Every structure is written in structure tokens, then in C-alpha cells.
Structure 1
Amino acid sequence: MRLLLPLLVLIALMAMLMLRGYVHSEIMADHRIQPEAATDKVPEKILDGGPVIDTRSGRTTSMSVPDKRLVLTFDDGPDPTWTPKVLDVLKKHHAHAVFFVTGTMTSRYPDLVKRMVDEGHEVGLHTFNHPDLSFQSKGRIDWELSQNQLAITGAAGVRTSLFRPPYSSFADAMDDKSWPVTEYIGTRGYITVVNNTDSEDWKKPGVDEIIRRATPHDGKGAIVLMHDSGGDRHQTVQALDKFLPELQAQGYQFQNLTEALGAPSALTPVTGADLWKGKAWIFLVQASDDITDVLVVGLAVIGALVISRFVLMLLLSGIHARRVRRKGFSWGPPVTEPVSVLVPAYNEAKCIENTVRSLTASEHPIEIIVVDDGSTDGTARIVEAMGLPNVRVVRQMNAGKPAALNRGLANSSYDLIVMMDGDTVFEPATVRELVQPFGDPRVGAVAGNAKVGNRDSLIGAWQHIEYVMGFNLDRRMYDVLRCMPTIPGAVGAFRRSALERVGGMSDDTLAEDTDITMALHRDGWRVVYAENARAWTEAPETVQQLWSQRYRWSYGTMQAIWKHRRALVEKGPSGRFGRVGLPLVSLFMVVAPLLAPLIDVFLLYGVVFGPTQKTIVAWLGVLAIQAICAAYAFRLDRERMTHLISLPLQQILYRQLMYVVLLQSWITALTGGRLRWQKLRRTGVVEAPGGPVPRQRTHDGDRRPVG
């Protein structure tokens, strides 16, 4: 289900976006127009006949409107601006008309079509997407007719037998390309209606000119072509308001087509399943428009968040680097007092020896407390067999990482506490660099610089980029803003007094490191970042392990945000985190990643359905901004730029995985699910640069160097 639910959400969004694109003629639209052709195959009686052409049941007949009767026809609507004005003028002068509506506009504005029918007007098909049907196959023609009919049924509950081809004009303009279409339309049960008076209102020639062109000669009847959509139709509306009373005064009647011909109505009520299909179609189209509008707003929000975050990271991380690297900078008096290093370990047999040996090389005086949390792989025995001074092993039944850290805290001897993971190795200077900020008595905790040690694989390189660019730039930014959200579990330091005041490590959430950091902020302590306190951790090496880790992180972060939500209304120095930190963490770590897939959804849509070139340029622009941020972060951390080669691929593949993970975390949170702690499989391949040679056990229990 963790794969199925996010996938279904993504498919639903894409389906809604494509439906909207189809209804807005961005998909499957064909704007070609057939040039004039010969008229050899068109019967003379059609060329010389009236504008109403009936080819149903093998007939080939045409009809004209009787004298003194005018049938006003409006094409391409309904339009939300101009169609209501046209209807108002018709109602004002007690006139009826025929509206040849497209399926796209009917689907989007169904209430206007219903109003047309309710006020006694007739509606006819004008295809769904307004293509030149002489270019189309019979299958596409059937599709255009049925979709147009479906939209009319859903909007007004009726079916129509009237049809007008797009780009049509007079009967004598019928040619060898359009005539076969007209014949085929008849076999589908429709009467084709062209016109014999064209107002040419789409040219906007002026009110008087529209009236002149629309007026038939010598009192003859006519079908008048006008438009209620496709652009500014204010001249059409003004011409109607003048045209109708003038010709009514001359004895003309303005009727719909079947009234003028004395025929049964072209509209028949629809009931049953067909009616509900039409209503379902209208509902889906309306939903797709509404959802797309929301997505566009979301896209604007994520765009603003992404740009804001990049600007803040670049600006504030630079300020942080200049501040801590300037000559003479110090946090206060040098910190030389001994430190207790807590190493919670659960089944870390492959890693624990490297971890402990890296600590014994520390340049700072430390005691090492390994808390074995009920390991079943001999982790505690490995540490005890090393026989190293200042290293103690504390055993407990399996109770989880927070309990192990609290047990280690209870057994520690010193006032400064360093916490790390059992799969992490420290450089000799790490502890010393990590505790120097405690020279400032306001500092309650320090975040170190976690590095990915196993970065040689592609998935490792992607995480390396994420650690350097995402986590460490973020920590510099949050340090300057004084609202650091997380002390990484791999490398962090605390004052014992600060930990005791907030009740120690909590198991209320799956992100105990974020939880304790937020608690310290709320207690009034400063939390800072020590860039030179480097720790090398083993990142997940498979997609499954990465999924498990990030799922726990994102869900735990949501739990921590919810747990500390009251910080938003707290006052005083401790309220700074609530006013600044908690909103930023919520926006940048929860909301922004949740909305970020919209960038890729619109990217995919734009590449496939256009405008392709502009879409690709926009995506490359976003990638360029990310590349600049990544390069800057790598420069600040003095990392080689070669790993950035995989950045474009990371944006295409790795980022999508993180989206799905976060979406699954949201689903878990919203459904009230509980996520258990998940242990990742380790290989023990990570060591600090220039550190000790990693060792492994032989079959007889002895340890020998690897390689």
C-alpha cells in the first residue's frame, strides 16, 4: 500500500491535468484548415439549395428558411463573458436562436447551455475540439460528435440532432473534401446546418456593418451566422440590440430552426444511464478545472518556497561561514573539560569496532559509553574484547534508541555529552570541534557536520549531495536565524543540564533528535552548528533501506512538529523558535517537499503537450539554480565538485523517491497509522579519512585487517 497509494494519487493528478488539457484543446486539438477543393462530387441541388442539409437515411435534400423569418445562429460558445450578454439581449427582445456549441466550452460552462435550453433556444453540435473534419477519420468524427453530445446531455439533459461543421460557410461552398463528411454526418442521424447570411462579426467591422451584412434582401428568410465566443464580442452584442427591434419592426420573426421550419424540436430529453454519464462527465471536467487551479496555486507556492529557500540558504550560509571563519572568532574560553560520548548500538557488529577505534583517536579527553540495546549479534562482546581504556559497555534489554541514550546519560561522568550513531566514525578533531561552542553559556546543544562515507555508489553520491547541499546549508541558515530544528543523531553534543531540564530523550516520536532539539529551543537554549566537527556515517545502500530511513525521518519530523506546535504561541526568548523556526521547518521540510512533485507533473505535461521548448528551458533554469546552490555548498564544505555530475539524474530519479516517501508519511499521519522503528542493515565500510584500518572477525573469532 505504501507504493500503491502515492502512485494512485499521482495517477489521479495526471489524469485530472490531462482531462483539463483535453477540454482546453491542449491535447488532441487539430487546428489545420483544408484549402478549397473541387466541387465535382457535390450534387447541384446542394450547391444551389438552402442552408439546411439533410443526408439522413440516404436522403440528399436541402431546405431554406421561409420569408420574413430569421434564424440567428451563434458559433463556438458558450463564453462566460459574452454568451450571457447575448442571451440577455435575445430575452429582452423576445427572440430565439440556435447556439452551435463546442464540447470544450459546454463542459466548462454547462450552466450557460442549460440557460439556452430553458429560455427556448436550440443548441447544436459544433464538435468537441473544433477541428476541420475533412482532415479526420470516421473514428475521430464519431468521437467529436459523441463527446460534444455527452457534454450537452450533461449540461442540459437533452440530445440534439443539429450539427454545424467548423469552418463552414454557405451551401455553395461545399466541396469534394467537406461533402463526404456531410454525407457521413447524416448517417449518424444529424442534420447539417450552414448559413446563407454571414455577419462577419468576428472581424469586428463595426455595429452598422454587422447589421448590414446580417440583413437579408427583399424580405427573404435566412440563417444568420454570428459568434458568441472566440474573442471580444461587444460589437456583436451592440449590433443585436439594434438589429432585433429594427427587423422586428419590419415584420421579421426571430425563431429557432425548427420553429422557423415548422418541424418537431431538434432537442429530445435524455434520461437514465445516458443522462448520468453526461452529468458525470460535467462533474469530472469541473473537478479537473478546480483541481488544476489548485495545482497552479500550489505550483506558485512551491516556486516561491523553493526560490526563497535558495536565497535564504545562499545568503545566510555565507554569513555563517564568514562569521565562524573570521580571524579571532571564538565562542568563548576554550573548552578542555572531558566529555562523555554515548554510542547507542543495536546489532552493530559490522560497524562498532570502527566506531569505537575512531573515538579512541580523539584529540579531546573523552569517556566512551557503548549502550548495547539488546543486540543479538554480539555487538557488546566485540567492544569488550577490544580491551580499550575509557571504554565502557552498558547492556540493557531492547528498548529503543531514546532509552539507550537516557541509559548512557545516567551512566556518564561528565557535564558535556556527545551523542553519535553506532555506524558512524569520528575524525580525531571531531569531539574537540564539537564542544567548543559550549564556551558560550547560552549554548545548550551543537550540531556537527555529518558526511556520507560510502559515496562511491550512485545512490551514495546522491545522498552525499543531499547531505552537503540540503542538510548542511540548512544548518548554517538555521544557525544564523537561531532556530536550528535538528541535532543530527550521527554527531551532536549537549549540556547535561539542558538535557535534564527538558526530561532527556523522548520516545514520543520517531525523530528523537528533532524532538530534543525543539524541546531545547522551547526551554530557551541556543542550538548552533559546528562545521568542522565532521562525522562519517554509512548511508543506506539500497532503495529499500533508503526508503525505510527517510520514511522514519519524515514521519518523525511531522510528529515532532505536531508535538511542539504550542511553540507557535509561546512568548519570550523561547518563542523565537515558534515564530521563526517552526513555520520554516513546516514550510521547507513538510509542505514544500509535498508540493514539489507539481514541478515535475507540469514539466512532464509541458514536455509532452507543449509548450515543450519553454518547459525545458524553465526546468533547466531551476536545475541551474540548484546547481549553483550545490556548488556553493560543496565549496563551503571543501568537497570535490566531481560528485555534482550526478545532480541532474538526482533531480529526475532520487527526488521522485523522496516525494513518494513524504507522501506516504502524510498518508500514515492522516490515517493515524503507527510506524515502528526500523533497523537498517550495515556493512561497516565507512572509516574517517586517515583513520584506523577497519577490522573484521575471521571464522575462528580472531580479528585481522581487511584487504
Structure 2
Amino acid sequence: MNSPAPRGRYDRSKRAARKRKQSRSRLRLPMRYLLPSTLLVALLVMLMLRGYVHNEFQADHRVRPPAPTSQVPKEVLGGGPVIDARAGVPRTLRIPDNRIVLTFDDGPDPVWTPKVLDKLKEYDAHAVFFVAGNMAARHPDLVRRMVDEGHEIGLHTFGHPDLSYQTSERIDRELSQNQLALAGAAGIRSSLFRPPYSSFSYAMDNKSWPVTEYIGGRGYLTVVNDTDSEDWKRPGVRAIVERATPKDGEGAIVLLHDSGGDRSQTVAALDLLLPDLKKKGYTFTRLTTALDAPSAHTPVTGFALWKGKAFVSAVAVSERITGVLVVGLAVIGVLVLARFGLMLLLSFAHARKVRRKGFRWGDPLMRPVSVLVPAYNERECIEATVRSLVASDHPIEVIVIDDGSTDGTAGLVEAMRLPRVRVVRQQNAGKPAALNNGIRHARYDIVVMMDGDTVFEPSTVRELVQPFADPRVGAVAGNAKVGNRDSLIGAWQHIEYVMGFNLDRRMYDVLGCMPTIPGAVGAFRREALERVGGMSEDTLAEDTDVTMALHRDGWRVVYAENARAWTEAPESVQQLWSQRYRWSYGTMQAIWKHRRAVIERGPSGRFGRVGLPFVSLFMVVAPLLAPLIDVFLLYGLVFGPTAKTVAAWFGVLVVQAVCAAYAFRLDKERMVHLISLPLQQILYRQLMYVVLLQSWITALTGGRLRWQKLRRTGAVEAPGGTSTRTPQRAAAGSGGGNGTGRRPHA
């Protein structure tokens, strides 16, 4: 007979297996964040790239005043507009007589460059375009057109800084990035260069000349001008033509601009200048042609070509994404303001209706009701839950449906021996099955449902069932409130519950399209539940699912603001993620399940064309776009305009604060918790965005989301101020439930 393995070896084996399992869990955990995080990082990179090519990242608008010329060679000061310092000994070149080299700086511009090119093509003239790299990267099609139509391209740096202020490293970067843009746009490199803010060769001084020498050493031919049209001053068409016309048939390099502002006068001047100079015998040609020199263009191949194409493509993507984001920001801005305005208006109307003197749903309803408490491993909370129900001032029976708990939840309730409290045991089957089982055991025609970790006030049941005096009412939503609001996460959820949920419910009540009866506190007419088939297991948001089904069946669903229930909200980011992930995904499932209501008639069609669009817009689409407000806040802080960006962001925050303050006033809550509202908008909104994005991904990829069991502490404060967690249970250990009465099951 084989002897058993030593106990120590067995324990070590179990510990090793447990560590391997935990290690795999740690490896799997970040995967849920991977795609949303990747999208956020990619978005940030695209915005940074957009800021860079729009010269918002390292813009330098300084222009150096004139300096002494003692270090500039006399040959340069008295020479031509083309400076060749490539061989170490500088020399200058002039354009031969009767030849003109038209040069255009600062482009390409999507508005003016095509018009300039059209004029040049009309008069069969060629020119040199000194393009800025950031403009070339954004408008590569115009650079390609320049090359295809026989024009010459020169460099004008990437971001147009005065190079006399820059280091050699910055100068090299300006040149290389300019070449990269040219390679990506037209597949070429160029050996021509014009410094920003340059003019004539005799204007070289002790600050600009060292830059020219350095650039010559890098293999570039520096091109200034000897005929300045001064079109950048916009002096008028006739003045531009006069200043751009050489004297006595001399050759010239004429300075013009195709970007940097309104160039309509430049375009109009070309209509006069080109035919006039042609009549005088001038030829409009490329610079290298005028000098009888080899072409300034060199084809780019191999890795350098693909690198340039990748850069230009990335810029194009960043431009499109930014355009979409701007539209999205405008949409979310309109939605946010419209939603807040609608909430305030309809909530005010709701408050006036329910607080109107003499308002009643009908005769006071005092007949007994059944309260269902689905519970799975709720030992930490169940005693306080049941005791709060027994203290109710309305006649009730309490049915605790134990969904296969393993922590003695059912036994604890039975040991309490409270009147009007029954325990129904079942094998673990999930919350919908537990509720349906409870409905079968219920004695009365009105059924109240709650979670096993929730505490009712004495008046909650009474307030919850009064609307059933109206025979058209099929269900009533109560007012769920966060009990553990002392932590930062709890305070944020408290704001969300009061403002985002209860203010919404007032709005939806007036519109007649309440989307959800909260699982923590809701009541149903038994007949209505039976007509829609009870609680469904088709979605992970059975409360939203059944509420939509009731609307489609023609029942009214209303809100009872004084039916307060105190629930324990998740206290950690991980638990909050699990809960909201399930809510978001379940809501999307419910919307999809009831989508045919949009095309149906009667009550179903009315809900489908009012309720479903509202829920989809405000609970699924708008929250996905909301972080754009914060994204553009960061973008504005980095790239500007900072003051306007901050003012706009605070404007939205003020609107939210006004809505939140009004919601707190309606709910008679202390305003002190609104202190954390700005931080909530920055951090909490991002978490909700990632949760919703993950839900979208799960839905679109056909994934199935399992129920997440949340750990409860039983620390919610009862209305009287007594903690729901007794010392005995605290010493007994954890084992808290998930607040849903349901656990994962096959």
C-alpha cells in the first residue's frame, strides 16, 4: 500500500497552485483596461501630434532686431540673393537679366495656394515655393501638385522660428522635420533653403550670418531675395505689382506669400504682374533653371520615403481625429446643456406636482404588501435589512429568498424569529429566479423588491405603494441613497445618486418613460409582472429590462421621491468597476432587446420613440463623449488658449454644480458633499468612460459578461444612525454579498 504524501508537501503544493492562480489573475486583470487605455493613449498621441504640426508645441515668435555686420563677408553684403556657403568659402549668385524667379513663402495654404497655382498655370509660369514643414505635412496634396506642375520646392523650416535664436540642435530638427514632410508629401528632398524673416543679402548681420554658414555646411543653398513685393503688408494690388517689377530688364528673385493671412491681393496682383512682365520679355522660371544648375530636388527612396509617408499619414489621421473630436465636443456640449436644462425644467415641474397642496394618487392605500429580499451570502447585512422592514409603518410580509447562500444567511434570518418574516430556500439560480420564486410565494397583489444589503426607513414601504391607488400604475421607483458616503468614492457616488439618478428619475417621470426601477427599492403590481412574464434572465440588468417591458405593455411607471432606501455603494475602484460594467452592459442589452418598440404602435411605440432614444442618448452615448471636455481641457492647458479653455471648462462645471445643488435641495441633502464635485468630474468621469467603452467593446465583440460578486462590509448607516454591522458579525469575518442577490452560476 502506498503511504500518503507528507502533509507539508501537500500544503506547499496547494500554496504553489494558489500563487500560480493569483499570478494568472494578476496577468489577466489589466487586459480589461488594455484596449480603453490604448485608445486613450492613441488619442493623446494624435492630439500631441496635431499640436506639434499646428506650431502649438514649441512656437517661438521672437524676431531679432538688426545687429552689427562686422562678421559678415563683404562679398555677401554686396552680393546677390543666392548665397552658397557649402564649400566653406561663401559666394553669391544673381539671376540673369530678363529672368524672374517668383518665390512664395509660408505655404502651402488650403485656400490661397491653389489659387496661386491656378494663376501660374494659366500664364505658363513656374516658381519656387518655400514651404513650412508643418504646413506641408497638413496639406501634402498641394506639395505634390507643385512638383507635378513643374515648380521647385525649398525649405522654410518646420515651425517658422527665427533661427538666430535657436541652438544647432533645434536648427537641425527644423531642417530634418521639413525634409521629412517633403519626403512624405512628394517623395523628394530639396537643397534650397530660405530662413524665416529674411530679406536681402545686405541685411545679413552678425546674428544671422553664422546660421547661414551653418546651414551651408549642411549642404543647403540659402536663397533670400532682391525684390520684395511687401504683399504681407497688403498695400493694394497696384502697389504689389509695382514693387514686384524689376527695373530695366534686370533679373530678380521676387518675394511673395501664399499663406500667413489674407492673400487675395497677391492672387489679384498675379493677374496683372504675369502678363505685364511677359510683354516686357521676362521669363518666369525655377531658380535652378535660371542659374543653369542641377535640380534642387532629389528623389527619396527606401526607409526614408516610408518614414516620411508614415509621418504625413499620422498627421492626416490626427487632423481628422481632431475634427471629429471637435464635432463630438460640440455635440456633447449641446447634449450636456440640453440635458441639464431639461432636467432642471422637468424636475421643477415634478416637484411642483408632488408638493402641490392636496395632491394625492387616490385614496390612501393601506392594504398589506409583500416585500421580497433576494439574498446570496448577505450575512453581513441581512439582519439590519430585515429589522428595518419589520419596523415599517405599513402592513407587510417579508420573504427572504436565500439563493443558495453558503455563509448561513438563511439560518441567521430564521434565528431572529421575527413576525411576518419567512425564508424561502433555493439552489443558486440567480437574482431573477430568486425574485420570481418570491413572487410565487407572495400573498399580496403589490410586491416590493429590494436588495439584501439595503435598509428601508419606516415610511419607505408606505410611500412606495401609494401611487398604486392609480390603477394605471404598474411599478414605482424609490429613492436609493448612498449610506457609506464618508469616503471619497462614496461621496462621488452620493453626488451621482442624488444628481444623476434621482434628478433623472424626476425628468423621466414627467416624460412618462422611466427607464429603470432600481433593484434596491422598487414596487410592482403583481398583475403587471405576470403580464410581462416576470423577471427575465435575458439581460444583466433585469430591473431595466422589466421596466421597459412594463412600459411597452401600457403601464405607467412613476417615481416616489420620499420612498428612501439606504444602500452600500462599492468602496473600491475595482468593485465600482465591476458594478458599473454590469450596469452599462445590462442597459445596452435591454435597449437592444426592446429595440422593436421604435417601430411599434400604441404604448410600446410611444416608449420606443421617446424612452429608448432618451436612454440611449443620455445613458449610453453621452457618457462616452463626456471625457472630451477634460481631453480638450488638457489640450488647451498645454497648447492654448489656456484662459478661454479653463473658462469654458469651469462654465460647464458651474452648470453641473447648479443642477447638483438643485438636486440636493430637492432631496434635502447637505451641500457639503458638493465640495468634491470638481474632482469627481476630472477622475470619476474618466472611470465611467472606460467602463462604458469596455461595455461597448464587449457588446460589439459578442463577449459574455459574468456577474461580479462585490464584497460588502455591512457598514451602511441606518436612518436612526445605527450601523448595520453588529460587533458579532464584524468578528465573524467577511462573506458579504454583492448587492444584487446573485452570484455567478453556470
TM-score normalised by L of structure 2? 0.93
Deviation of the 1:693 alpha carbon: 6.7
CA RMSD of aligned residues (A): 1.5
Aligned to 2:334: 304
Residues 239-638 of structure 1 aligned to structure 2 (within 5 Å): 239-638=269-668
Work out the CA distance in 1 between the residues paired with 2:156 and 2:721. 77
- Tell which deviates more after alignment, 599-608 or 211-220: 211-220
The one-letter code sitting in structure 2 at the alignment partner of 1:119 is E
Deviation of the 1:566 alpha carbon: 1.0
Which of 59, 68, 73 does residue 98 from structure 2 map onto? 68
Deviation of the 1:571 alpha carbon: 1.4
Number of corresponding residues: 703
The one-letter code sitting in structure 2 at the alignment partner of 1:160 is S
Work out the CA distance in 2 between the residues paired with 1:620 and 1:693. 38
Deviation of the 1:665 alpha carbon: 1.3
Which deviations, in whole Å up to 9, do the C-alpha atoms of 1:629-652 show, x marking residues without a partner? 111101100111111122122112
Assess if the C-alpha contact under 8 Å between 1:97 and 1:256 holds in 2.
Answer: yes
Work out the CA distance in 2 between the residues paired with 1:691 and 1:235. 78
Which deviations, in whole Å up to 9, do the C-alpha atoms of 1:484-515 show, x marking residues without a partner? 00000000000111111111111111111111
Assess if the C-alpha contact under 8 Å between 2:106 and 2:156 holds in 1.
Answer: yes
Aligned to 1:85: 115
- Tell which deviates more after alignment, 566-575 or 467-476: 566-575
Assess if the C-alpha contact under 8 Å between 1:99 and 1:122 holds in 2.
Answer: yes
Assess if the C-alpha contact under 8 Å between 1:427 and 1:691 holds in 2.
Answer: no
**How has the CA–CA distance of structure 1 residues 108 and 378 changed in structure 2, closer, same or farther, with 3 Å as cutoff?**
same
Aligned to 1:667: 697
Assess if the C-alpha contact under 8 Å between 2:389 and 2:458 holds in 1.
Answer: yes
Aligned to 1:173: 203
Question: Does 2:71 correspond to 1:31?
Answer: no
Deviation of the 1:325 alpha carbon: 1.0
Work out the CA distance in 2 between the residues paired with 1:696 and 1:596. 41
Which deviations, in whole Å up to 9, do the C-alpha atoms of 1:169-197 show, x marking residues without a partner? 00000011111111111121111000000
Residues 88-107 of structure 1 aligned to structure 2 (within 5 Å): 88-107=118-137
Work out the CA distance in 2 between the residues paired with 1:700 and 1:30. 64
Which of 182, 185, 188 does residue 212 from structure 2 map onto? 182
Which deviations, in whole Å up to 9, do the C-alpha atoms of 1:269-293 show, x marking residues without a partner? 1111111111111111111111111
Which deviations, in whole Å up to 9, do the C-alpha atoms of 1:578-604 show, x marking residues without a partner? 111111111111111000110000001
Work out the CA distance in 2 between the residues paired with 1:702 and 1:554. 34
Aligned to 2:19: none
**How has the CA–CA distance of structure 1 residues 246 and 692 changed in structure 2, closer, same or farther, with 3 Å as cutoff?**
closer
Assess if the C-alpha contact under 8 Å between 1:343 and 1:370 holds in 2.
Answer: yes
Which deviations, in whole Å up to 9, do the C-alpha atoms of 1:287-344 show, x marking residues without a partner? 1111111000000110011001100111111111110111111111221111110000
Where has structure 1 moved over 6 Å in runs of 4 or more? 699-703
Deviation of the 1:622 alpha carbon: 1.3
Which deviations, in whole Å up to 9, do the C-alpha atoms of 1:120-166 show, x marking residues without a partner? 11000001111111111111111111111111111111111000000
Work out the CA distance in 1 between the residues paired with 2:621 and 2:377. 35
Work out the CA distance in 1 between the residues paired with 2:258 and 2:400. 80
Work out the CA distance in 2 between the residues paired with 1:248 and 1:139. 44
Work out the CA distance in 1 between the residues paired with 2:572 and 2:517. 25
Which deviations, in whole Å up to 9, do the C-alpha atoms of 1:69-112 show, x marking residues without a partner? 11110101111121112111111221111000111111111111
Work out the CA distance in 2 between the residues paired with 1:84 and 1:608. 33
Aligned to 1:236: 266
Assess if the C-alpha contact under 8 Å between 1:357 and 1:692 holds in 2.
Answer: no
Work out the CA distance in 2 between the residues paired with 1:452 and 1:207. 71
Work out the CA distance in 2 between the residues paired with 1:683 and 1:649. 26
Work out the CA distance in 1 between the residues paired with 2:541 and 2:518. 10
Question: Does 2:153 correspond to 1:153?
Answer: no
Question: Does 2:118 correspond to 1:54?
Answer: no
Deviation of the 1:662 alpha carbon: 1.3
The one-letter code sitting in structure 2 at the alignment partner of 1:82 is W
- Tell which deviates more after alignment, 565-574 or 344-353: 565-574
Assess if the C-alpha contact under 8 Å between 1:447 and 1:487 holds in 2.
Answer: yes
Deviation of the 1:206 alpha carbon: 2.0
Work out the CA distance in 2 between the residues paired with 1:603 and 1:546. 26
SS in 2 for 1:80: coil
Work out the CA distance in 2 between the residues paired with 1:526 and 1:204. 69
Deviation of the 1:701 alpha carbon: 10
**How has the CA–CA distance of structure 1 residues 306 and 387 changed in structure 2, closer, same or farther, with 3 Å as cutoff?**
same
Work out the CA distance in 2 between the residues paired with 1:102 and 1:305. 39
Work out the CA distance in 1 between the residues paired with 2:721 and 2:439. 27
Work out the CA distance in 2 between the residues paired with 1:72 and 1:47. 22
SS in 1 for 2:609: helix
Work out the CA distance in 2 between the residues paired with 1:666 and 1:635. 35
Work out the CA distance in 1 between the residues paired with 2:255 and 2:193. 14
Deviation of the 1:382 alpha carbon: 0.4
Aligned to 1:137: 167
Work out the CA distance in 1 between the residues paired with 2:684 and 2:111. 46
SS in 2 for 1:679: coil
Deviation of the 1:699 alpha carbon: 8.8
SS in 2 for 1:241: helix
Which of 713, 717, 723 does residue 683 from structure 1 map onto? 713
The one-letter code sitting in structure 2 at the alignment partner of 1:513 is D
| Structure 2 alignment gaps of length 5 or more | 1-30, 734-746
Identity of aligned residues (%): 78
The one-letter code sitting in structure 1 at the alignment partner of 2:131 is V
The one-letter code sitting in structure 2 at the alignment partner of 1:10 is L
Work out the CA distance in 1 between the residues paired with 2:685 and 2:283. 66
Which of 214, 238, 244 does residue 244 from structure 2 map onto? 214
**How has the CA–CA distance of structure 1 residues 41 and 698 changed in structure 2, closer, same or farther, with 3 Å as cutoff?**
same
Work out the CA distance in 2 between the residues paired with 1:85 and 1:427. 75
SS in 2 for 1:225: strand
**How has the CA–CA distance of structure 1 residues 400 and 702 changed in structure 2, closer, same or farther, with 3 Å as cutoff?**
closer
Question: Does 2:196 correspond to 1:196?
Answer: no
Work out the CA distance in 2 between the residues paired with 1:571 and 1:577. 10
Assess if the C-alpha contact under 8 Å between 1:423 and 1:537 holds in 2.
Answer: yes
The one-letter code sitting in structure 1 at the alignment partner of 2:280 is Q
SS in 1 for 2:32: coil
